[in-house]
């Protein structure tokens, strides 16, 4: 049986990590617009691409279960009566990849308590949205994904990233007739026809930003230099990133966009930055939330964003039901 014809699971090849819901809610984290490579392949199970491999994740009680699939060039052999489907990878390494991706070394429940003590509004929202943490994504994938978020919404961004990966990324495997591709390399996005191909894929004005940033990084700091910005001082990292085509002042420890601006004005009653999002407004709003929530202010903001996102989805669903009735 080929991989694409294989059943959806092979339980003996699943592994797990300790992960209580207070420390992470998989469904909230993977649907909150941080990454656009995951889809709910069955109720409670999420399949996506991470580290050049295809994974399925499932949370059950205090455990995070996962399996990793073989790439197509590894499909020749089968073992234990299970179709050539799950990769024989080092368990220590796969555990490390997941722990790093979800930043499981950060004690989230303690952060929630601190944010709640400082902010009554956060405390009210947090009780319904526990376990929202920030992903530690590959810098190249994260950068180009968020260039695509300009004037966009999650479902459309997800579709754009899928087209980008299919057109420029290496094919990894096929599950239930669905192909999965790696995120494109910088070299794949720097070709002379990259911008035209991206426009044909529906990227519009973002096509110029994606191809332009790919060339700027390839000719400048490179992939390694981009990764090193993780440990650079905030001001330096911001300066370098904002010099790239399509990257603006939204690149902050608290990502200030019109959504966060409205939260600051409407929910916190702060009149910062005047009536529009000027560079001064970006700085002032970011400073306000960093002063309120502390060093991991971006994590606290992710909780409020997730709450607003789900509130909006629920409202849209109610409107849709009313329309149908």
> In order of start, what are the domains of the chain with their CATH numbers?
3-126 (3.30.310.40), 137-248 (1.10.340.30)
pLDDT tens profile 150-171: 888 899 999 999 999 999 999 9
227 has pLDDT over 50: yes
Task: Give catalytic residues, as residue numbers.
Answer: 250
* Predicted local confidence at residue 1, as pLDDT: 30
More confident residue, 311 or 216: 216
160 Cβ contact list (under 8 Å, min separation 6): 148, 152, 201, 202, 203, 206
Q: What mean pLDDT is predicted for residues 45-62?
A: 95
Q: What mean pLDDT is predicted for residues 11-24?
A: 87
Element housing 63 (H / E): strand 63-68
Instruction: Round to whole Å and give the CA distance between 108 and 137.
Output: 18
pLDDT band at 7 (very low <50, low <70, confident <90, very high): very low
Tell me the β-bridge partners of 63.
18, 60
**What percent of the chain is modeled with pLDDT above 70?**
81
* Cα distances (Å, whole numbers) of residue 109 to 113, 120, 126, 131, 222: 6, 16, 10, 8, 36
* Predicted local confidence at residue 265, as pLDDT: 75
Using a 10 angstrom Cβ sphere, with 0-12 exposed, 13-18 middle and 19 or more buried, the burial of residue 210 is: buried
pLDDT band at 75 (very low <50, low <70, confident <90, very high): low
101 has pLDDT over 50: yes
């Amino acid at each position: 049986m080929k991989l694409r014809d294989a059943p959806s699971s092979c339980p003996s090849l699943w592994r797990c990590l300790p992960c209580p819901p207070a420390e992470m809610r998989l469904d909230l984290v993977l649907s909150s617009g941080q990454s656009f490579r995951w889809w709910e392949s069955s109720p409670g199970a999420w399949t996506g691409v991470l580290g050049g491999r295809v994974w399925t994740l499932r949370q059950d009680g205090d455990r995070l279960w996962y399996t990793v699939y073989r790439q197509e060039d590894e499909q020749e052999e089968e073992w234990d009566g299970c179709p050539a489907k799950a990769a024989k990878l080092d368990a220590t390494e796969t555990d490390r990849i997941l722990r790093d991706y979800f930043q499981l070394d950060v004690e989230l429940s303690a952060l929630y308590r601190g944010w709640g003590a400082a902010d009554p509004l956060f405390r009210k929202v947090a009780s319904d949205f526990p376990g929202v943490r920030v992903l530690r994504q590959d810098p190249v994938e994260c950068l180009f994904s968020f260039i695509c978020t300009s004037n966009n919404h999650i479902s459309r961004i997800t579709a754009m990233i899928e087209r980008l990966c299919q057109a420029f990324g290496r094919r990894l495997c096929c599950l239930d007739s669905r192909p999965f591709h790696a995120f494109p390399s910088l070299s794949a996005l720097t070709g002379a026809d990259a911008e035209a191909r991206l426009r044909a894929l529906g990227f519009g004005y973002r096509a110029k930003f994606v191809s332009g940033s790919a060339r700027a990084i390839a000719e400048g700091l490179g992939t390694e230099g981009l990764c090193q910005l993780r440990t650079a001082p905030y001001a330096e990292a911001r300066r370098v990133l904002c010099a790239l085509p399509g990257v603006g002042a939204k690149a902050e420890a608290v990502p200030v966009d019109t959504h966060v601006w409205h939260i600051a004005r409407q929910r916190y009653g702060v009149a910062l930055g005047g009536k529009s999002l000027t560079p001064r407004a970006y700085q002032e709003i970011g400073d306000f939330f960093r002063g309120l929530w502390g060093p991991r202010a971006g994590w606290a903001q992710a909780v409020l964003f997730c709450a607003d996102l789900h509130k909006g989805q629920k409202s849209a669903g109610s409107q849709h039901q009313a329309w149908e009735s």
